[in-house]
Amino acid sequence: MKYRLLYSACLLCLLLAALLALITGKYPMTPGILVRLCLSALGYKQVGFDLAGPALVLWSVRLPRILMAVLVGAGLSVSGAMFQGLFKNPLVSPGILGVSSGANFGAAIGLLFFSGSVWAIQASAFIWGLIAVGLTCQIGRRGDRSITTLVLAGVIVSALFMAGLSYIKCKADPLGQLPAIVFWTMGSFNSVSWTDVAFGGGLIAAGLLACRAMSWGLNPLSLGEEEALALGLNVAARRAVYILLATLMVSAATAPCGTIGWVGLLIPHMARIFTGAEHDRLIPVCAVLGAIFMLVVDTLARTLPGGEVPVGILTAFIGAPCFGILLIRNKTTIWNNH
């Protein structure tokens, strides 16, 4: 009963955050205008009101951006919770296997050679993110196949792709390509379209549903490999599926929006404060809290005076102090709920 109340409260907060995002911005909208736009979309004519401008802002700009922020926040948060459970490490983030650095490298290649094609840039980021994780898994498989080896392989692959990104920055046109690459790596929902929501958001949504259906298997894995084997789980296969799901969500989130840090590290810890370590409850709450956090931060990013700020900068400004507060509160360990 307590969990249901908590989850319902989180959903209500998400609804309020979405409403706030809809009516807030450089082109403000009142709730009355929103109601008229919805009625107009349903076929009810609104006599005496010019809704052309508000309709364009709502349906073509603000709504896809809000939906993408919700899905990206949920996907990154759930990916972080899954990686932390798999690796039994509270400091693991979604980029641990090199997916973020690989996606950054791929986007830089796309911006360097296909700067006029948004599809090519996003496809390149998505593909190279998957390639990075594939390399990490291959290196880990050729070692002793332990979690430590896999994490170290991720560090190696991340360093290689970051070096590649730095090289591309050196060769990029400083007047056009270089600013685009730098801005993309900061993370932003500024150029999100319905196509991005359909492709990237669709992959994230599918990954979230799969993670929810398979969340029970994370509980024995988070206890240790021996305990999971004793319960009859195929540890290697189960781990590979979870890594693939998390990687797909992170790649799908990074491809259209750039790198957005701290969400997958901070939100799972916040969710554990309310739910404990039971992944059946942790995953849904983590998804909703991540969506709320990303939506609020993006709304703040586009309404600050002086022009829009890349959302990745604000997540770091907000996430780092919040994570520090969690560390101080728990004093000895932030894993005491696990």
300 near 314, Cβ under 8 Å?
Answer: yes
Mean pLDDT computed over every residue of the chain: 84
Phi, psi of 19 (to 5 degrees): -65, -40
Residues 285-297: pLDDT tens digits?
999 999 999 999 9
Amino acid at 164: G
271 near 282, Cβ under 8 Å?
Answer: yes
| Among 227, 207, 203, CA closest to 217 | 227
Q: How far apart are CA 185 and CA 308, in angstroms?
A: 15
Residues 248-286: pLDDT tens digits?
888 888 888 888 988 998 999 889 888 888 888 999 999
Residues 95-111: pLDDT tens digits?
778 888 888 898 889 88
Going along the chain from its start, the domains and CATH numbers come out as: 86-255 (1.10.3470.10), 260-338 (no CATH)
Residue written as token pair 């007047």: 175
In this prediction, residues 316-321 reach a mean pLDDT of 88
Judging by beta carbons within 10 Å of its beta carbon (0-12, 13-18, 19+), is residue 267 exposed, middle or buried?
Answer: buried
According to DSSP, residue 98 is labeled S
| Among 39, 84, 66, CA closest to 263 | 84
Phi, psi of 129 (to 5 degrees): -65, -45
pLDDT computed for residue 15 by the predictor: 95
pLDDT computed for residue 337 by the predictor: 46
Neighbours of 230 (CB within 10 A): 11
